[in-house]
Structure 1
C-alpha cells in the first residue's frame, strides 16, 4: 500500500501535538514575545527549488540527496499554493471529489511537488532541541534532512513538528527536501467548499528549545477567578517553576513558585480578583512561567490569559453567566492572489474590519487557521467556533453519506485531526466551541471525536451541525434554516417550539452577489428567544482569483474559468467582502441589523428617546450620541451628549431637549431626526468617533405642497406617426405607433432619449440561481412584449393629456398586464406621468413572483451627476434596507453601480422622494413624487448584466439607463437558504406608479425647491 493511501497510518515520527507557545531565555525577551528573541529561531520561508511531477513515482532517483542537482528545477515561493504560481490546475468545487470515490485510494496521476532548499544553523541552536515545524501543507508529505528521512504527515490545515536535532549539521550547509502529494487518503476528509490548492501554504519554521524544557501547557481560567495551570516537561528532574500573573497595568496579581521533580506539574489558585474576558471586554492578563534548574533560569514562557466560563444551562449556553448572542461570520483563509496563504497582518485587518461592523464571532470554516488568528481573537475580542479539518461532502452524493464517518477503521484519521487542533489552541479564551467538522454525515467516528473533546477539554462545548439529533453535541446547530416554506423542515418556528438545547445557525444568509436579504427577520427572532443564540453568515470573503485583462483591467475569475470541470462556478463568490476587500452593501446591512444600540422614540416633539443596550456585558458609557434634524439634507438643528453607563441589556431614557415648535416647516418637505452613536475614545479596532449604531425617525413636521400653475404656450402638432410637443424652452415627441415618448429637450439639448416603458424584468441576481430556469424557460420574463391597443391625446386648457393603453406580457404567456400610461404635459415642460397596471388573461398561469414592476428610461449619457433624497448611500431592497437611511445623497452614475464579480442587477434605492440627473453645467432632469418610488441608474441594460460573466465584459452604452419602480423584488438568500419572504415579494398585482418629470437648470432652481412644488 502506498503511504499516502494508508488511512490507518496517521504519521511517521511526527511529534505529539502540544499547545502554542514560545520559549525565551530571559524574562525581558519573553515580555517582547517575538520569534527573534526565542532561544533560537529561523524562518525557512522564501524561494525554494521546485520540481513538479505527474505522480510521486516519477520522482528522480535520490532527489532527497544533498548533492542532487537542481539546476534545471523551477523556483517556487514558500509559503504559497503551487496552483497560484503556475503549477498544476486551478479547480473550484463546492461538493465533488475530483476523482472516483474509492477510499482510501486516490488517482495514480497524483500531482506531486518536490521542494528543496538549504539552510545554515546558527550557533544559538547549539545545545538546543531543534524542531522543524510545518504550519500547513496540502495534502500529505514526506520530509528529508541531509538525505535522511525525517518523517511523514498529513492533515493539510494542521501543524506538524519533527525533531531534527540528530539530523542537523552545524559545520555544513543543511539540505531540506519535502515531497508533497496533492491527493492522499486525507483528501477524503478535506472536501471543503473552496479552491483545491496544494503545497506548502503556511510558514516553515526552525525552532530551538531547551532539551529538558516545557513541552506542553494547559491553562484553565474561569470567570470566578479560578486559575489552574498544568505543565508538562520533557524530563522528570528537579526544578523550580515560578508563576507570575500581571494585569493590563503590569501590576502583579499572582507570584508563586512551585518546586517539583515530576514531568507533570499542576498549579492552582482560586478566586483571583480579575475582570472576566468576553468579546466585548477582552480583558487579558500576562502570565510568565519561569523555569529554573539548579538555580539557573532555563526558560521563560509568556502566555496571555483570559478568564472566561462557558456552560449549558437548560436551553441556553452561558458565557460568564449570560446567554450571549453570536453575531457571526464564517471565515476561510483567503487571498485573491495567493490563495490560502495569508499573513498575520491580513488576519488582523479582517478582525478589525469585523469589529468595526459589529461582528463578534467567527467560525473557522472548515479547518484550523494559523496560530496568529487565535491570538488576535483573544486580543481584539472575538468568540470562535474552532473547527476541525474534516469535511467529506462528496459522499453526500453516494448512497451512504456516512461511508467513512461511520467506519471504525477511519477513527484514528478523524480523532487525530481533532486532537491536534485542541492541543494547539486549548489556551485561547476566544474559543467557545470545538467543532468536529462540517458536512460529513455522522456515525461512529464523530461520536468518538465528541468523547475525545470532552475528555481532553471539558471546559468547552462540542459543536457539529451534522449531528442532526444533537446526540453528542452541546448545541443544536443547523444551516440555512428557513423562516417560511410550505413543506421544508425544520423551520425556525419548529426549533423555537421543540428544541431542548441551545440553537445556533452555523451558516445562514448566503452572501452571494446582491444580498443577502432577510437579515433583520432572523435577528429579530434571535433577540426574541433566549435559546436562539445567533448565527454565522456565509461567508466573509469572495474567493475570486485576481486576473489582469489584456487592456490592464483587474477582474476576478471563479470556478469554470480555468477549464475546471465539474465546477460550482461562481458559488465561491459568496462573501461579505469583495475580492479587493471592498465591503459589500450586505455587510453594511449586517452591521446595522446587529448594531449594539436599539433606539425607540417616546416623544419626537421634544426628543425623548429610549435606548436599549444590545450588549451582553459592556455598558453604553463608551459612546457619545450625536443628533441632527435635517430637511432635504440641510441641518436645522444638532447636538451631542455622552451616553450614560447603561448596563448590558438594560434601557435608559434620553432627552435631546429640542423644540420642534421653533422650526417652520417648508412645503412638501420631510424632516428627519438622525442619531449616530460613536465611540468616545480610541479602541484597538477603531478610532474615537467611529460610528457603531444609528437611528432615524421621521418628525411630525408637515406643510402642504407649494401650488404651482404652469404658464406659457403649448404647441402640439401631429404628423404621420409622430405627435410633436413644443413649449417655450422644451420639446418632445411621441411615436404614435409604439405609444412611447422620445427626445425630451430643454433649450435644444436632448435630456431624455426614450421612455418611460413598462418592465417587469431585472437582470438575475445570484440569489435567483435556483429559479432562473423557471423565470426564463417557463415564464420567459426576459422576453417582454408591449402591444399598443390605443393612443389618444387631447389639448385642454393649455395642458396636453396623452393616454396610451397597452397589453404587456412575455413570450408565449396567456397572462398579461393591461397598462394605462397617462402623460399630462404643461407649457412649463413639466410632465406628470402615471402608469396603472391591472392583471389580466389567464392569471392562474402567471408567476407568483416578479422581478420588478416599473418603467425604464434612456437618458443623455452626459447626465452623470445624481442627486436624490431617499434611502442611501448603498443600494437597498425591501428585505435589505435597514442600513439605508433617508437623506440627501450625491454620486456619479458609476458610483451607484455595485460592481459585483458576476454582473447582476444592483443599485436600487427605495423610498425616493426626488431624483435629479444633471450634466457638468447642472442641466438635467428632475423626478419627484410624494408617495416615493424606487430607482436605479447605470450605463448598462439588463441584458448587458445578464449576458456578462465578468466585469470586463461590460461595455457602457451611449446612454444612461434609469429604472423608476413601483416595486422591486426582494433579494432573499436562495442561492443557498431562505427564498424571498412572502411579505417582501413583488407579485402579479395591480399597481400605480406616478412621478413628475421635467427638465431643469440647477442654476435657476435647486432640486429641494422643485420638490416643494405641486403642479395644479
Structure 2
C-alpha cells in the first residue's frame, strides 16, 4: 500500500527535530573594517551587514500539503503571487485571521505532540546579492513564527523553530556571485507551539529582521565579556573568553588584540597570538577604579577586539558595550552593586496596533523613553527574548532587564496537569534549546540581571535542567521562574497578583533565605489599576519584598478601520475577548490614566511628615546610587489656582537612602497669605540638566500638602424674592434669573434655567450604578443579581414651602429593585435662595438583604450642549478615582467635555475627577456650578452611562450633543480584579448610611473662582 500522507515525518511535527543546519547561538555582532567604524556601532555601515527587509513575494496556503511544492526552485514562476512586507504577520495583511486566546491552545494537547494538518503556511521568495565569494555568507533570522524551512538557490539550507529566537545559517556553499534566490516555507504551528502558548494573539510570519552577514574565513565566532565589580564596589574585574574560527585553506594562526576604552581613552590593551588549530583565548584585567553600570547611571565602556593575521595585517574589528556591575544573592536579598534595591518594573510585550509583534526600533525607543519618564527602572521581556536592539537600548538608557525564554505551555492547566510537559524528560532538549539560545545571544548585555526560564508552565525536571545549565554557564546573574514555588531552580521566590494581605504575610516571614519579587501585579486592564500605593507601601516596609513588574506595559489590541479590536472580532474561537487589552498604554502608545499613578508610586524622591506649624517637611532620597544633586525642587504655595510664592528647596547632597528636613515656608505664612482659603504647598522636582530621553516640563516627582484649611464663613443673605408654584406634577421655583422645576412624581429636580438658558434639561436624579469597568468582572454578577442597573424610584412624600426668601422641596423616597428584598431610603431637601442657588441635602439609609457593594452613590443631570467648557478645583488634570488618585494633585484645571472622556478598548466608566471642591460647566460666558461641602467626584461626558454599559467597541458609541454630568458622593474603588485582587476594604463602597450637602447655581463665568469658593465656605 502506498503511503500518501505522513504527518509524523514532518520536521514541524517532530519533537526530536529542533533544527537542521542552524549555526550555534552567538551574540549579535558583525565585523567592521576599521576601529573607527567599530566604535560607531552602525551595522549597516560595516560593509558586512545587509538588511533584507522589504517587500517579498508571498503566497498563503491553508496547509503545508497544498500545491507549489517546487516554489523554492530557481526560475519558479511566482508572477501570480502577491507581496508582503518583511517583517510582518501575514494575518495583518489579509491572509488568514488573527486569533486571541489567553491559556487555551488552538491545537490538541497530546503526548507525543501532534498538530492538525490544516496548519496555515506562508511561502516566501526573495533575491539577495553576493559580491565577494572570498567571504563566508550567513543568513540571519531574528524571529519567524513559528517554524520554517529555508532554501537558497533551490538547495535545502536548513530548518528552525522557536518563534522569538534567532536562527543563523551558513549558506556559503550554496551561493554564487550576483543575484541569489532565497525561499522559505513558514508554518504557523509546530511542535514548538506547545511551548509558545503565551497570553497573546496567535499570529505568524517573518516577524523580525532578516539580514545577510558576511565574514572573512578567519573570524571571531563567539565571545563572552564579563565586567564584575569587586568586593569594594569600586574596583572591577574584566574577563573575555573568545573563540576564533579559521576556515582558510591553509590555517596560519592569528593574533587577537583586545582593548577596553572609556570615552575614547584606552584603559587596557593586550594582544595574544593563536597558533593554527588554537581557537580559544581568555583575557583578564583587574582595575582599581571603575565606574559602575546601573539603571541610574548606565555608564558603558567600549570593548574593541581586533583580529589580525600572524603578520599583523588587520582582518576585522568587533565592538561591544560593557558595563561593570555585580548581581548577587546575599543575606536573603538580591543586591545589585551592593544595594538591595527595589524593582520598579513593567512587563512588556513587543506590540503595535498595526504591526503586531513586528515592531520597529522606533517603537522600542518610544517605550523606553516613556518608561524612564515615568520612573520605571526594570523591564521583564514577557514572555520571550526581545529583538537584539532592545537590549542595546536598555544598556544605554539604563534598565534592569529580566530576559525571559520563549517558553510557556499554559494550556496544560486546562487538563489539570501542569507538569505534563515540564516534568517530561522527552521535552528536555526543547527547553534547553530555548534557554541556551536566549543566554548565548544576550549574555554580553549589562542590562540583563536575571535570566527567566519561562512563564506559567508548571514545574519539573526540564526547568531544573535549564537552571543547572544557566548557573554553570553564567554565574554572574540570577535565575527567575515564578512557578517554582519552592525556589528550587530559582534564586528568588516569585508570584503573580498576590493580594496585599498575602503579600504582607510573605514580607514578614523570616524563615525564607531568598527574597520575593512579584513578576506580575496590578493588572492594568481598562480603568485602573487601583491599589498601587498600598503595594508599594508593603514593598518599602519589608526588605525581602523587592518590588515587582506591573502587568502590562501596552494593550495588545489590533486597529481595524480606526477601531481597537480584540478576541472574537475575527470569528476566532475559542477566545478570551478583550483580555489582551490590559496595558498602561493603549496600543497606539497613548498613556492611560493609570500610568500617572504608577509614576507617582515609583518616585525616587519622597516628601513626608509635613508640619504646617513649622513649615518643615522630610525629604527622602529613594535612589539606590545617586544623590539628589542632579535635581531641583521648588515649592509653590497656591490656593485655587492663585500662586502666592515659590521657593527652591535645598535637597542637594542627600545620599541614597537618607533623609533630611527642609523648610517649605515660615510658620503660619500660608494661612496669613490666603485669608481663610484652603492653601496647598506643591513641591515639584525636575532635572537640572534634562536627560536625552526627557521632554520639556517633565517632573521626576511631585508632592502636595494641605498647609491651611478653608475657614467657614456665614452665608450672606441673598437679596430678592423667591416664588413657588405647583401645577399638577410640576413644582416651579423662580429665584432671580433662575427658574427651577421639580417633578413631584419623581421627587427630583428636572430642569434648571438661568439667564435665559436651560442649563439642566433633564435631572436623572440619584444613581447607584456605573458602566462596569474591566475590573468589575467579579462584582458585576452580584450587581446584576441585585438589579442595581435598574432600580425603581419610589416617591413616598413631597412637601413644599416658600416664605418669599427661600423655597424648600422635601422628598421622602426610596430606590428599590423589583422582587428583591432591599432598598435605599432617601430623605432629600432642596433649598432655593433668591440668587438661584439650589442647596441639596441628602441622607440615605440602605436596608434589607443588601448587596456586598454599591457601584456608586451620586446624582446625574443632562446639561445643555453649550456648556462644553469645564473648570474644576480638585484633583487632575487626568482621570482619577479613590484608589488611583495620588498621581493627580489638587489644583484649578480646565478642559472640554469632549476631552474628559478616555477611550478604553471596551467602553466603560471613565472620566471621573476625584476630591473636587467645585466644578463649573459653561459656554465661556455663563454656566452651572456644583459645589460640595465635602469634596465630591464628577464626570461630564457626551455619552450616557447606559451607552457605556452596552457598547463593546468605541465605534458603537455615538456622542450625544447633550452633556451627562455625574456628581458622586462616593464610588467603588477600581482594584485590579480583571486578573488580580479587587479594591481594598478602605476603597470599597459598602451599602451603609450616607449624607452629603451640595449646591448648584448658575452664574456668569467672570469671577467664578471667588463665587465658587465663597459658596463652598458657606455650606
Q: Specify which of 369, 379, 383 is matched with residue 352 of structure 1.
A: 369
Partner of 2:256: 241
Partner of 2:955: 952
Q: Specify which of 902, 905, 920 is matched with residue 901 of structure 1.
A: 905
Partner of 2:143: 136
Partner of 2:96: 88
Q: Residues 324 and 1015 from structure 1, CA distance in 2 versus in 1: closer, same or farther, beyond 3 angstroms?
A: closer
**Partner Cα distance (1:464, 1:417) in 2:** 14
RMSD, matched Cα = 1.6
Give 1:775 shift.
Answer: 1.7
Q: Is the 8 A contact 1:679 1:689 kept in 2?
A: no
Give 1:684 shift.
Answer: 2.8
Say which SS state the counterpart of residue 229 (structure 2) adopts. coil
Q: Specify which of 979, 987, 990 is matched with residue 990 of structure 2.
A: 987
Q: Specify which of 204, 219, 226 is matched with residue 213 of structure 1.
A: 219
Q: Is the 8 A contact 1:665 1:702 kept in 2?
A: no
Structure 2 residue 736 is the aligned partner of structure 1 residue 725: no
Give 1:827 shift.
Answer: 1.6
Q: Is the 8 A contact 1:131 1:164 kept in 2?
A: yes
Structure 2 residue 420 is the aligned partner of structure 1 residue 403: yes
Describe the superposition over 1:185-221 as per-residue Cα deviations: whole angstroms up to 9, x where unpaired. Answer: 0000000111111010111100011222110010111
Could you tell which deviates more after superposition, 108-117 or 857-866? 857-866
- Structure 1 spans left out of the alignment, 5+ residues: 485-489, 549-553
Partner of 2:1014: 1012
Partner of 2:859: 855
Q: Is the 8 A contact 1:137 1:200 kept in 2?
A: yes
Partner of 1:739: 747
Q: Residues 642 and 26 from structure 1, CA distance in 2 versus in 1: closer, same or farther, beyond 3 angstroms?
A: farther
Q: Residues 47 and 919 from structure 1, CA distance in 2 versus in 1: closer, same or farther, beyond 3 angstroms?
A: same
**Partner Cα distance (1:958, 1:712) in 2:** 35
Q: Specify which of 502, 510, 517 is matched with residue 523 of structure 2.
A: 510
Give 1:603 shift.
Answer: 3.7
**Partner Cα distance (1:479, 1:701) in 2:** 42
**Partner Cα distance (1:39, 1:896) in 2:** 53
Give 1:937 shift.
Answer: 1.3
Describe the superposition over 1:957-989 as per-residue Cα deviations: whole angstroms up to 9, x where unpaired. Answer: 342111111111100000001111111101100
Partner of 1:113: 122
Give 1:639 shift.
Answer: 2.5
Q: Specify which of 786, 801, 812 is matched with residue 805 of structure 1.
A: 812
Q: Residues 602 and 769 from structure 1, CA distance in 2 versus in 1: closer, same or farther, beyond 3 angstroms?
A: closer
Say which SS state the counterpart of residue 371 (structure 2) adopts. helix
Partner of 1:465: 482
Q: Specify which of 889, 892, 911 is matched with residue 888 of structure 1.
A: 892
Say which SS state the counterpart of residue 510 (structure 1) adopts. coil
Partner of 2:545: 532
**Partner Cα distance (1:130, 1:874) in 2:** 54
Partner of 1:361: 378
Say which SS state the counterpart of residue 364 (structure 2) adopts. helix
Could you tell which deviates more after superposition, 232-241 or 401-410? 232-241
**Partner Cα distance (1:305, 1:990) in 2:** 63
Say which SS state the counterpart of residue 821 (structure 1) adopts. strand
Q: Residues 298 and 206 from structure 1, CA distance in 2 versus in 1: closer, same or farther, beyond 3 angstroms?
A: same
Partner of 1:487: none
Could you tell which deviates more after superposition, 39-48 or 883-892? 39-48
**Partner Cα distance (1:169, 1:953) in 2:** 57
Within-5 A mapping of 1:560-639: 560-605=568-613, 607-639=615-647
Give 1:240 shift.
Answer: 2.1
Give 1:37 shift.
Answer: 2.9
**Partner Cα distance (2:223, 2:866) in 1:** 68
Give 1:491 shift.
Answer: 4.5
Q: Residues 51 and 689 from structure 1, CA distance in 2 versus in 1: closer, same or farther, beyond 3 angstroms?
A: closer
Structure 2 residue 313 is the aligned partner of structure 1 residue 305: no
Q: Is the 8 A contact 2:30 2:48 kept in 1?
A: no
Q: Specify which of 926, 929, 932 is matched with residue 926 of structure 1.
A: 929
Q: Is the 8 A contact 2:677 2:708 kept in 1?
A: no
Partner of 2:38: 30
Say which SS state the counterpart of residue 428 (structure 1) adopts. coil
Describe the superposition over 1:509-553 as per-residue Cα deviations: whole angstroms up to 9, x where unpaired. Answer: 0000000000011111111111100000000111111122xxxxx
- TM-score when normalising by structure 2: 0.96
Q: Is the 8 A contact 2:721 2:804 kept in 1?
A: no
Give 1:298 shift.
Answer: 1.0
Structure 2 residue 236 is the aligned partner of structure 1 residue 232: no
Say which SS state the counterpart of residue 624 (structure 1) adopts. strand
Q: Is the 8 A contact 2:649 2:663 kept in 1?
A: no
**Partner Cα distance (2:709, 2:547) in 1:** 39
Say which SS state the counterpart of residue 234 (structure 1) adopts. strand
**Partner Cα distance (1:964, 1:220) in 2:** 60
- Structure 2 spans left out of the alignment, 5+ residues: 1-8, 231-235
Partner of 2:233: none
Q: Residues 432 and 256 from structure 1, CA distance in 2 versus in 1: closer, same or farther, beyond 3 angstroms?
A: same
Q: Is the 8 A contact 1:667 1:704 kept in 2?
A: no
**Partner Cα distance (2:764, 2:956) in 1:** 27
Q: Is the 8 A contact 1:157 1:389 kept in 2?
A: yes
**Partner Cα distance (1:279, 1:304) in 2:** 15
| Count of matched residue pairs | 996
Partner of 2:175: 168
Describe the superposition over 1:982-1015 as per-residue Cα deviations: whole angstroms up to 9, x where unpaired. Answer: 1110110000121111111124x32333322455
Structure 2 residue 921 is the aligned partner of structure 1 residue 917: yes
Structure 2 residue 71 is the aligned partner of structure 1 residue 41: no
Q: Is the 8 A contact 1:328 1:536 kept in 2?
A: yes
Give 1:659 shift.
Answer: 5.9
